[in-house]
Amino acid sequence: MALPRDRRDRWPSGPNKLLEQGYPLRSHFSRKSCTPASKPRRPVTGYDVFLRNAYPDMKAKYPSFTQQQIYSMIGRMWRETLTWQDRQICYDFADEEKDVYYAQMKEWRKKRNVVLQEEKAAIEAKKAKIAERKEAELKEESIKWVEEPDCKVQ
């Protein structure tokens, strides 16, 4: 698809115009990668454990506050009012999840290596099949050319 030459046509307004004209909504240079669904999720941190436990209580205590206000209050509690012993409890829960995560990742990597090797072998087999087909076509064309020459000698 060729880019428009006129400057005012270069940037159509609105997302619908972009879709109609075939422009991609995201750049192909975006760094967001596609992760496989079978990959284990990353473990939570100590702060995440605290946040998950404190959020329902804070939401019930302050129902008129917005989510952003509640998160900022919880963050302030974590930084300023929580003792080291209370934090250590959250860190211990996070460490348990981290150990489970590393074990799952080790298993996932083993399975993934096997799958990648199978895919690589399948690709190589497909390439070999295509090469054989091309070689057969070339051989067939050369036989036709030798049997039926296009030019006649006078």
**Domain locations in the chain as residue ranges:** 39-144
Judge contact between 74 and 55, C-beta under 8 A. Answer: yes
Positive or negative torsion for Cα 69, 70, 73, 79? negative
pLDDT of residue 6: 52
Q: pLDDT 10s digit of each residue in the chain, 154 long?
A: 455 555 555 555 555 554 454 555 555 566 666 677 788 899 999 999 999 999 999 999 999 999 999 999 999 999 999 899 999 999 999 999 999 999 999 998 888 888 888 888 889 999 999 999 988 888 887 777 666 656 655 5
pLDDT of residue 80: 92
Judge contact between 91 and 47, C-beta under 8 A. Answer: no
- For the domain spanning 39-144, the CATH number is 1.10.30.10
